[in-house]
Chains A and B, each alone.
Chain A
Amino acid sequence: MKEKLLKLQKKYFPVSLMDTLLTVGIFAVVILICFLLTRWVKNNHLFISILLIAAVFLVARYTKGYLYGIITAGLGTVAVRFVFSDLYRQLTQAGFPLATLSVVALAVLTSTLTIQMRHYTHMRREADREKIRGNLLRAISHDLRTPLTSILGAASAIIENDKVLSRESRLKLLSEVREDAQWLIRMVENLLTVTRIDGERNMKIIKTDEAVEEVVSEAVSKFKKRFPDHRLDVLVPQELLLIPMDAVLIEQVLINLLENAVTHGKGATLISLLVYVQGKNAVFEVADNGAGIPEQVLPYIFDGLYKQRSEAKYEAKNNMGIGLSVCATIIKAHNGYMMAENREGGGALFRFTIPLEVKRKK
């Protein structure tokens, strides 16, 4: 019973510092204007009542619940009764209680409208989020089906044609199976990350001071395991750089960008990874000397695949869509900045920043 009451109180009469300050602020400003009016304008009664009503309306509209609106209405009538007594005297005996009642009614009505409006906005946002989630799921399912089909096909081909397949073709099929499986695993890892930091509400990631060179070196060694023949130049600052971050996520950003350079930077022979400090940020750059990013894709490159898909068919195997939007999400969660461009000499350049220090924010 007590809990229920408390819940109701929280829902309809929530108390917060912000709202209290807002109420006090609005009321003080209005009273101040009223005082100035009484000094310079004669026959100011009408202005005063209109201003007080406006104050009640504003408070009821911009605070949560009914509490602050009603308080303002009460304060307004008290002010009329004791401060602006000229106005009070003008009202007939029945007039004052009636005026009080209407002001309170105004407060309650406005608050009700505000509450309803908030509820409606919330519902619509939920619906939007649902829709995005649905689109993402559809796109992902589609993307998963392609490699799975080819794995199934290759495995069946090997089993059913055991006697006729040459050793070379068997190995070729098997290496394709391996490649597809690796792609699927990376895709799933990216999706897991998305669910870990999805939504504005749980954008919280746990940041600890990590050595940049350790994060970079682990990303590089994982990359080299997968692409042992690719040339990769890595340069990190001479001094030890400790930056607050979620190391696993940043490592994933680096791996995504490096692998992206191999799979999408057509003709790339050299990939470089550079880390340096600029102002209050650590800057990470992954560049290749391949074909670069098609101009029409550039504006949407971090938007995730659902937008991209409606654009020109970019690439059949589109891990880039999810991979890059995951990168952007991770960097955003670190209060960093991410961008992509084409280099002057040819090739793509991806750059992201991470603040050297966490902003102290309450």
Chain B
Amino acid sequence: MSQTHTVLVVEDEHNIASFMTTVLTANEFHVLKAKTGAEALALNASYNPDVILLDLGLPDIDGQKVIKSIRESSDVPIIVLTARTHERDKVAALDLGADDYVTKPFGTSELLARIRTALRHAKNRGRKDSALQIGIYRAKGLTINYEKRRAYVDGKDIHLTQTEYNIVSLLSHYAGRVLTYDYIIRNIWGPLVGNDNQILRVNMANIRRKLEKNPAEPEYIFTEMGVGYRMLESD
């Protein structure tokens, strides 16, 4: 990374904050630490970090409320750290504007990958609508040509239907990030479909059969159980 990015770590458990700081510093991030929600909001206002790592279980304010307050004034990428096994918290955090989540316990490589993805998306955010509609997505054997609206695996056109292409293209624009079922459904079918996941599930099953060698061992689109889908980061 050419320029040093600042990461705000919001975590009340000292040991966890400490190991994250060590990893982040070793990977040339500048680290700010906050132990409470109030501290996090103050540090965010005065230092404008590039990424926020936010633990949902804080001693003073509920993590979800912290996300809400931050989103009122800033677009800074927020990655939620959650120990909770309940998917609802993750979905709620994402719906409130968090960019991604990492489930505790997490490996350091996973954490760093999520941060890099979030930084890259933040950089692209300004030109999302115009620039990303043209160009090409490439990861392993998968190529998506946005101009031709076609997807290829190992050079072969996989003949996606209109809807299938829209889903794949949406996921690829946010490659590396998890998109919730609701978000995908609203973007593809509009707000009137409601939150019936079935229609999305069936489409995903078809996409998987066209895209993946073995639907049970996907290489490109991964399921995040109870939350949504995540596409492989582009090369």
- Chains A and B form a bound pair: yes
B198 neighbours in A (Cβ, 8 Å): 209, 242
B217 neighbours in A (Cβ, 8 Å): 217, 220-221, 234
Q: Would you call A198 an interface residue if the criterion is a C-beta within 8 Å of the partner chain's C-beta atoms?
A: no
Give Cα A184 to B222, complex, Å. 27
Report whether B201 and A240 are in contact in the complex, using a CB–CB cutoff of 8 Å.
yes
Size class of the contact patch on chain B: 20 to 34
Report whether B214 and A214 are in contact in the complex, using a CB–CB cutoff of 8 Å.
no
Report whether B223 and A214 are in contact in the complex, using a CB–CB cutoff of 8 Å.
yes
Q: Would you call A211 an interface residue if the criterion is a C-beta within 8 Å of the partner chain's C-beta atoms?
A: yes
Q: Would you call A185 an interface residue if the criterion is a C-beta within 8 Å of the partner chain's C-beta atoms?
A: yes
Report whether A217 and B202 are in contact in the complex, using a CB–CB cutoff of 8 Å.
no
Q: Would you call B85 an interface residue if the criterion is a C-beta within 8 Å of the partner chain's C-beta atoms?
A: yes
Report whether A192 and B225 are in contact in the complex, using a CB–CB cutoff of 8 Å.
no
Report whether B105 and A234 are in contact in the complex, using a CB–CB cutoff of 8 Å.
no
**Known contacts A192-B85, A234-B216, A248-B87; A211/B105 CB under 8 A:** no
Give Cα A251 to B209, complex, Å. 21
Report whether A248 and B226 are in contact in the complex, using a CB–CB cutoff of 8 Å.
yes
Q: Taking CB as reference atom, which chain B residue is nearest A226? A: B107
Q: Would you call B208 an interface residue if the criterion is a C-beta within 8 Å of the partner chain's C-beta atoms?
A: yes
Report whether B216 and A248 are in contact in the complex, using a CB–CB cutoff of 8 Å.
no
Give Cα A251 to B204, complex, Å. 19
Q: Would you call A291 an interface residue if the criterion is a C-beta within 8 Å of the partner chain's C-beta atoms?
A: no
**Known contacts A185-B105, A235-B216; A214/B202 CB under 8 A:** no
A112 to chain B, nearest CB (A): 47
A256 to chain B, nearest CB (A): 15
Give Cα A209 to B201, complex, Å. 10
**Known contacts A242-B201, A248-B225, A251-B225; A213/B85 CB under 8 A:** no
Main secondary structure of the interface of A (DSSP, over half): helix
Q: Would you call B205 an interface residue if the criterion is a C-beta within 8 Å of the partner chain's C-beta atoms?
A: yes
Report whether A211 and B87 are in contact in the complex, using a CB–CB cutoff of 8 Å.
no
Report whether A218 and B85 are in contact in the complex, using a CB–CB cutoff of 8 Å.
no
A304 to chain B, nearest CB (A): 21
Most buried by B among A209, A213, A248: A213
B215 to chain A, nearest CB (A): 5
List A224-240 residues whose CB lies under 8 Å from chain B. 225, 234-236, 238, 240
Report whether A221 and B226 are in contact in the complex, using a CB–CB cutoff of 8 Å.
no
B209 neighbours in A (Cβ, 8 Å): 238
Report whether A213 and B222 are in contact in the complex, using a CB–CB cutoff of 8 Å.
no
A31 to chain B, nearest CB (A): 55
Report whether A248 and B85 are in contact in the complex, using a CB–CB cutoff of 8 Å.
yes
Give Cα A308 to B90, complex, Å. 38
B107 neighbours in A (Cβ, 8 Å): 225
A225 neighbours in B (Cβ, 8 Å): 107
Residue in contact with B215 in the complex, picked from A189, A236, A247, CB distance below 8 Å: A236
**Known contacts A185-B105, A248-B85; A213/B205 CB under 8 A:** yes
Q: Would you call A216 an interface residue if the criterion is a C-beta within 8 Å of the partner chain's C-beta atoms?
A: yes
Residue in contact with A218 in the complex, picked from B201, B204, B215, B223, CB distance below 8 Å: B223
Q: Would you call A140 an interface residue if the criterion is a C-beta within 8 Å of the partner chain's C-beta atoms?
A: no
Residue in contact with A211 in the complex, picked from B85, B201, B214, CB distance below 8 Å: B201
Interchain Cβ contacts under 8 Å between A and B, 5 examples: A211-B201, A211-B223, A218-B225, A236-B215, A251-B225
User: When A and B form their complex, which 6 residue pairs have the shortest distance between CB atoms, in order from nearest?
Assistant: A240-B205, A214-B223, A234-B216, A236-B216, A213-B215, A216-B216
